[in-house]
Amino acid sequence: MTDRPHRDFLAIPDFSTLELTKLFDLAERMRRGEYTSKPIAGKTLAMIFMKASTRTRVSFEVGTYQLGGHALFLSPRDVQLGRGEPIADTARVLSRYVDGIMIRTFAHAEVEELARYADVPVINGLTDLVHPCQVLADLLTVRQTFGSIEGRKIAWIGDGNNMANSWINAAFRLGFELALACPEGYEPNADLLERARAHAKITLTRDPREAVTGAHVVNTDVWASMGQEEEQTKRERDFTGYTVDESLMQRASSDAIFLHCLPAHRGEEVAAEVIDGPRSKVWDEAENRLHVQKAIMAVLMGGEKLT
């Protein structure tokens, strides 16, 4: 281990409020095609995927290439981590070859351990606890739609999962109003919620109609996340009444947008009429993964400043 001259991105609060604003400015320049630098030319990103992915894998790989670098896709079938090689050893070895590591895995503690032993920046591409790159992309979409995040009410309907926890972390840093509706037993992480409540108006209810009332952004996600597939039937029962459909959307602000990190299950957490309807911004949201992650890599691996 070194004295860590670099920084990681494991969760949204790893950036300060000011840094997040600057990061969105940089990502927005990238989105508009105004940023053409190659700050990671000659550098390599290792991408460890212990779970499946479409968006995260492709957007990181394409983003690395667009910034002048190269990305390596590593699945548990390919690397010894899948056969029990310790995370600490993997971190130390990869650090001798690559300039950054992105990881998607189960336990958040594994990502923290990887970061502790790596001598290069580590980026969280989703854990059971949080999905920070996704919520930054969602926030960029809110900015793109409304001009700013300030003064917007965000509603979260459904599972208090990694996405809900990252929205709570975002409210902690950015101070917007967040209304969550989750069934009993599916609440978000209590510690993250408590920390954020000192900095933002956050409500937790069982009633989706209450949460969406007046919201500018209505968000949901699958009822069974990766690794919870065997709970699907029980969850379908427990989440009855939590489908985001047109009648629920009508309680939101007249200019409200719908977001979903994808993949989506039409007819479960969201009705097709909503995700495929005029208020849905899910394709912009998916595109914005590319822009925010490029901004993160340019800062962590390429020397871009957030000042």
Q: Which residues are part of the catalytic machinery? A: 104, 131, 134, 221, 261, 289
Q: Residues interacting with ligand CP, by CB under 6 A?
A: 53-56, 126, 134, 261-262
Among ligand CP, ligand NVA, none, what does residue 163 contact (CB within 5–8 Å per kind)? ligand NVA
Q: Which one of the spans 62-70, 100-108, 155-163, 271-279 is the region binding ligand NVA (CB under 6 A)?
A: 155-163
CB of 210 to ligand CP, least distance (A): 27
* DSSP structural state of residue 280: B
Distance of CA 285 to the CA centre of its chain: 11
> What's the Cα-to-Cα distance from 21 to each of 12, 123, 174, 299, rounded to whole Å?
12, 19, 9, 13
Residues 6+ apart with CB under 8 A from 221: 158, 159, 161, 163, 164, 260, 261, 269
Radius of gyration, CA atoms only, the chain? 19
Q: Which one of the spans 15-23, 69-77, 157-165, 289-297 is the region binding ligand NVA (CB under 6 A)?
A: 157-165
Nearer to ligand CP, 74 or 204 (CB): 74
Among ligand NVA, ligand CP, none, what does residue 280 contact (CB within 5–8 Å per kind)? none
Nearer to ligand NVA, 31 or 131 (CB): 131
Among ligand CP, ligand NVA, none, what does residue 221 contact (CB within 5–8 Å per kind)? ligand NVA
Interaction of residue 221 with ligand NVA, rule CB under 6 A: yes
Among ligand CP, ligand NVA, none, what does residue 54 contact (CB within 5–8 Å per kind)? ligand CP
Q: Which one of the spans 72-80, 143-151, 220-228, 298-306 is the region binding ligand NVA (CB under 6 A)?
A: 220-228
CB of 198 to ligand CP, least distance (A): 29
CA-CA distance, 121 to 129, in Å (whole number)?
Answer: 20
Query: Please, which of residues 162-201 interact with ligand NVA by CB under 6 A?
Result: 162-163
Interaction of residue 88 with ligand NVA, rule CB under 6 A: no
Interaction of residue 161 with ligand NVA, rule CB under 6 A: yes
* DSSP structural state of residue 78: T
Residues 6+ apart with CB under 8 A from 140: 24, 27, 28, 31, 288, 291, 292
Residues 6+ apart with CB under 8 A from 306: 15, 18, 19, 22, 23, 26, 299
One residue of 90, 124, 225, 243 binding ligand NVA per CB under 6 A: 225
Residues 6+ apart with CB under 8 A from 260: 219, 220, 221, 269, 270, 275, 280, 282, 285
Among ligand NVA, ligand CP, none, what does residue 222 contact (CB within 5–8 Å per kind)? ligand NVA
Residues that bind ligand NVA (CB under 6 A): 126, 131, 161-163, 221-222, 225-226, 261
